[in-house]
Structure 1
Amino acid sequence: MTEKKRPPLPHDFHPPVAGFTVVSDDLAADGGALPQAQVAADGNTSPQLRWEGAPEGTRSYAVTCYDPDAPTGSGFWHWTVFDIPATVTQLPTGAGTGEMKGLPEGAVHVRNDGGSLDFTGAAPPPGDGPHRYVFTVYAVDQEKLGVDSSASPAVVGFNLRFHTLGRAQLVNEYEVSA
């Protein structure tokens, strides 16, 4: 059987920017297995994320979770939140519930590709092989990105493309056996 070709990561198409560090008390180390709490059927809980070393001039942050391996032709956005104040350098476990608890005042959620206004956990099709879940923190050069909660993740990504000073990412994998 031929190994399935994996699509590039989302930032492979963006200009290079400064890097900084993101870690999590909930997620595995980069390249590790996604914990069950971040799986749709077993918890659907957004992970705790903590970051440091963002570039000078950072005025806000955005956080996303994206699966480039989803069999859609365009990947799958699991979580998109932005306009996080520059003074905030972590989000607690469960901040992506959609109730905005745990998110700082002014932060904005947009609908994920499942249609809900929150974090939706991993749910790859059985037998589709491992999927990568790319958790990214963006350092943004403006306090407000200029879009609201009615924007799609693609529109948020378009705006981030032009306003990102730095990026930190953590990738975990998950698969469902056939």
Structure 2
Amino acid sequence: MPLMLTSTAFADGKPIPARHARDADNLSPHLIWSDVPDGTRCFVLIVEDPDAPSGIFRHWGVFDIPGGQTELQEGFGSKPSGSVRFARNDFGAHRYDGPQPPRGHGVHHYIFRIAALDVPNLGVPEDAGVEEIWHAARRHMLEEAELIGTYER
């Protein structure tokens, strides 16, 4: 089976609960991945909103997740632990910042993407942005999976 990404907070294609929104509790959702491909040495996870008025907006980037890890607990996005690192999101912060679409802009889709990599770490600068880490990850990708949540203000 291919790599799979799920959440206990919302089902694929369904609304993300308000507690995970930036203007509420801003808690990253519990995420679980399974069917990890052989040879995986680390993971990269990003969250993007392709419906943002200015184009793709990147809310979170997590990298150097150990290859044996298969989940991130709810609220993990406020502070990394161990070897795990956070990229700079488009708000300018190194953390999870949840959905915050403009009021009245309609439903936005938040794409959670995880990639299994064949290297033990990504080797990017400390201040790397989400787009930069995803670009670097593509060179080492074994498989990727996505989970889409929606949110509207």
TM-score, normalisation: structure 1: 0.82
CA distance in structure 2 between the partners assigned to 1:152 and 1:174 by the alignment: 23
The Cα offsets for residues 31-89 of structure 1, whole Å up to 9 and x where unpaired, read as 0011111111111110111111011111101111111111113x111100100111111
| 2:19 is the counterpart of 1:72 | no
Moved over 2 A (4+): none
CA distance in structure 2 between the partners assigned to 1:80 and 1:45 by the alignment: 14
| 3-state DSSP of counterpart to 1:134 | strand
Q: Which consecutive unaligned segments of at least 5 residues does structure 2 have?
A: none
| 2:113 is the counterpart of 1:136 | yes
The answer to whether the Cα contact below 8 Å between 2:48 and 2:58 also exists between their aligned partners in 1 is: yes
Shift of 1:149: 2.6
| 3-state DSSP of counterpart to 1:96 | helix
Q: Provide the alpha-carbon RMSD of the alignment.
A: 1.3
CA distance in structure 2 between the partners assigned to 1:124 and 1:118 by the alignment: 18
The Cα offsets for residues 99-128 of structure 1, whole Å up to 9 and x where unpaired, read as 32xx4x111111110011100011101121
State the AA in 2 paired with 1:37: R
Q: Report the equivalent of 2:99.
A: 122
Query: Larger Cα Rg: Structure 1 or Structure 2?
Result: 1
The answer to whether the Cα contact below 8 Å between 2:42 and 2:67 also exists between their aligned partners in 1 is: yes
Equivalent positions of 1:3-18 (< 5 A) are none
CA distance in structure 1 between the partners assigned to 2:31 and 2:38 by the alignment: 20
Q: Which consecutive unaligned segments of at least 5 residues does structure 1 have?
A: 1-17
Between Structure 1 and Structure 2, the one with more strand by share is 2
Which of residues 89, 96, 100 is equivalent to 2:70?
Answer: 89
How many residue pairs get matched?
A: 153
| 2:142 is the counterpart of 1:174 | no
State the AA in 2 paired with 1:40: R
Equivalent positions of 1:15-94 (< 5 A) are 19-26=2-9, 28-73=10-55, 75-94=56-75
The answer to whether the Cα contact below 8 Å between 2:41 and 2:67 also exists between their aligned partners in 1 is: yes
Which of residues 109, 112, 136 is equivalent to 1:159?
Answer: 136
TM-score, normalisation: structure 2: 0.95
| 3-state DSSP of counterpart to 2:139 | helix
CA distance in structure 2 between the partners assigned to 1:128 and 1:59 by the alignment: 40
